[in-house]
A and B are shown apart, each in its own frame.
Chain A
């Protein structure tokens, strides 16, 4: 059975304190791994799609990487506006999307 596990569940950072979020997965035939950001009560906002091991993508203070078993979302020098829940999802085929439970990030000034 496909599984997606995100860690830690919650992360509290000081502004400027870099850190990484982990998404480990077991899925047969990965088609894509997706990172989203979600603010309370709002729809998930797309950040990155990664397709193959070794791939990296960057956007502002965020960088996503992918290996055969896990993905990392690195947050460099975070700001308070980076506070959100970060969701990871994997796709194994048509419609077969599995989301992780998310990592809630709080960045304090």
Chain B
């Protein structure tokens, strides 16, 4: 158990809908990262937050957005969903240092029908 929690574990929805994925980092960690993993793409970095502020952006679509709240939990919002958004979404957290080890949560499996 990494100490990172994610909800829900599974999500089934329809195209065009909007969903919110939630992540709670390990106690004491300030950074939260979001990743998308699909069968043909591997693990793709989406976005990083550090202590409530956006720190780095990866291959995140405009239809996707995220935020980190004062209690440090984070939410990833996915809107106007398409079939191709079906994937595993992982959250990871890390501590204060620049050279950071990320600890991953169990993931949310999203299926868009």
Contact = CB atoms under 8 A, between A and B. Distances in A.
Interface of A: 31-32, 34, 36, 41-46, 49, 51, 87, 89, 91, 93-102
Contacts of A87: 43
A100 B41 CA distance: 10
A28 B33 CA distance: 21
Given A31-B99, A43-B2, A51-B99, A99 B107 contact: no
Q: Chain B: interface secondary structure?
A: strand
A95 B58 CA distance: 9
**Which 3 pairs show the lowest CB-CB distances between chains A and B?**
A95-B56, A43-B104, A95-B48
B99 A49 contact: yes
B25 interface: no
A97 B33 contact: yes
The size class of the interface chain B forms with chain A is 20 to 34
Given A31-B99, A51-B99, A97 B106 contact: no
Contact of A44 (B44, B57, B90, B99): B90
B2 A32 contact: no
A43 B90 contact: yes
Contact of B43 (A32, A93, A99): A99
A97 B45 contact: yes
Interface in B1-56: 2, 4, 33, 42-45, 48, 50, 55-56
Contact of A49 (B2, B48, B55, B101): B101
A32 B48 contact: no
